[in-house]
Amino acid sequence: MNKIRLGFIGAGALATTLSLAFKQQGFKITAVSSRGFESAKTLAERLDGCRAAADNQEVADSADLIFIATPDDVIPVVASHVRWQKGQMVVHCSGADPVDILTPAKKAGSQIGVFHPLQTFAAGLEENLKGITFAIEAQEPLLTQLKEMAQMLGGNWIELKSKDRVIYHAAAVFVCNYLVTLTSIAADLWESIDVPRDKAAGALLPLMRGTINNIESIGVTSSLTGPIARGDSGTINKHLTALDNINPNITKLYRELGLNTIPIAIEKGKLNKSQAEDIEQILKQ
Ligand SMILES: NC(=O)c1ccc[n+]([C@@H]2O[C@H](COP(=O)([O-])OP(=O)(O)OC[C@H]3O[C@@H](n4cnc5c(N)ncnc54)[C@H](OP(=O)(O)O)[C@@H]3O)[C@@H](O)[C@H]2O)c1
């Protein structure tokens, strides 16, 4: 299986992590291309035996399985500009896009698929792929091939249909991208009380880690603590007043998140019906 030759169109954050991980598993990475030559060159230098291709066609011509790891909007452009060969495998790595953006490759006789690692790859940081989930879509025999490749990287897989991809990806945005947004908001609030942002982030991190550890060990609902879980409406009122003085937009967000937190507190069993109604009224004012 790891005799198949891999090629990467795109040499950014995801291509770097995936290609290095596959290389470690014994796959040959034949060629890598990018929009400019520089990133392809940098990545190829890290992959023994791999060349930086002058264009995407060179990657397609050199490999059995080609990963299109460009920005999402560029994938259909690449798919329609490259001359694919019969019997090749062409895969994109977008979370939200359907498999049929690769239709030009299918029409040329290639098998097409999606291989989306549910992980965040910040540029320059090679995240561990072990234990992550890959959302895979393809027809046989490519489907089995991609499942096996996910397992070789130490990951799990789920099969995901094109019609479900957007919701799947929106959920990922909540826990990943918006976690960054929430952290940034919290750091801004601390800055308003004269704690520098970097110090704030350092102090808030153990709290965030503690929450994630709790979710892992006791589940989502049991992990909820804080004023809504306790029914402390006085504290919630104080928060709203203080936040309004700093930035009313943040108060709006606090209200919205709070309203979505009430059902969790009820499910946890700590908030009775009348407390829940009180808090709902305060948050809706
Ligand atoms: N980053 C993540 O956390 C993550 C996680 C899961 C899935 N994904 C998916 O992975 C894919 C790549 O994302 P990324 O974050 O790795 O993006 P990225 O870091 O911005 O890298 C994109 C790469 O595509 C290259 N590129 C742009 N236009 C091109 C073209 N026409 N032909 C060839 N190469 C081109 C860029 O070249 P230059 O370097 O020359 O600009 C760059 O190397 C996306 O589909 C994304 O949804 C990303």
pTM given for the model? 0.94
Which residue matches tokens 């259909």?
76
Torsion angle (degrees, nearest 10) of CA 167, 170, 172, 177:
180
Q: Which residue has the tokens 């603590």?
A: 225
- Measured from the Cα of 119, ligand 1's closest atom is 5
Q: Which band of pLDDT confidence, cut at 50, 70 and 90, is reported for residue 270?
A: confident
* Segments making up each domain of the chain, as ranges: 5-163, 174-284
For 153-272, where are the alpha helices, taking DSSP H only? 165-175, 177-192, 197-218, 227-230, 233-246, 248-268
- Read off the pLDDT of residues 166-219 as tens digits, 9 standing for 90 and up: 999 999 999 999 999 999 999 999 999 999 998 998 999 999 999 999 999 999
117 lines ligand 1 (CB under 6 A): yes
Mean pLDDT for the chain overall: 96
Backbone angles phi, psi at 264, to 5 degrees: -70, -40
Q: Are 157 and 147 in contact (CB under 8 A)?
A: yes
Whether the Cβ atoms of residue 72 and residue 94 lie closer than 8 Å to each other: yes
* Cα angle value 59/63/67 (rounded, 5°): 70
* CATH of the domain spanning 5-163, picked from 3.50.50.60, 3.30.565.10, 3.30.300.30, 3.40.50.720: 3.40.50.720
Q: For 45-63, how does the pLDDT look when each residue is reduced to its tens digit (9 = 90+)?
A: 999 999 999 999 999 999 9
Cis ω for the linkage preceding 196 (within 30 of 0): no
Task: Work out the pLDDT band at 3, boundaries 50, 70, 90.
Answer: confident
- pLDDT of amino acid 156: 98
3-state secondary structure of 280: helix
- Cα(133) to centroid of ligand 1, in Å? 20
Q: 164: CA distance to ligand 1 center in Å?
A: 22
Q: Sorting pLDDT into bands at 50, 70 and 90, what band is 128?
A: confident
11 lines ligand 1 (CB under 6 A): yes
User: From the CA of 89, how far away is ligand 1's center (Å)?
Assistant: 19
User: Confidence band (pLDDT; 50, 70, 90) for 124?
Assistant: low
Residue 90 half-sphere exposure, CB side, CA atoms within 13 Å?
Answer: 34
Ligand 1: distance of its center to the CA of 113 in Å? 17
The residue contributing the CA closest to ligand 1 atom 42 is 12
The pick from 70, 125, 127, 160 for probing ligand 1's pocket by mutation, whose C-beta has the most ligand atoms within 8 angstroms, reads 70
Residues 243/250, Cβ–Cβ less than 8 Å: yes
| Mutual angle of helices 248-268 and 177-192, in 10-degree steps | 120
Residue 186 Cβ contacting ligand 1 at under 6 Å = no
Look up residue 96 and give its two tokens: 């939200």
Q: Is the CB of 71 under 6 A from ligand 1?
A: yes
| Percent of the chain with pLDDT strictly greater than 90 | 95
Q: At 31, which amino acid appears?
A: A
pLDDT at 122: 83
C-beta of 80 in contact with ligand 1 (< 6 A) = no
- 270: tokens are 């700590």
Distance 11 CA to ligand 1 centre (A): 7
- How large is the average pLDDT for residues 10-18? 96
Kindly list the distances between the CA atom of residue 98 and the CA atoms of 69, 119, 185, in Å, as whole numbers in the listed order. 15, 19, 33
Instruction: Return the amino acid letter for 278.
Output: D
Ligand 1 center to 12 CA (angstroms): 5
Is the CB–ligand 1 distance for residue 121 below 6 Å?
yes
Q: Closest Cα partner for 149 from 48, 43, 18, 61? A: 18
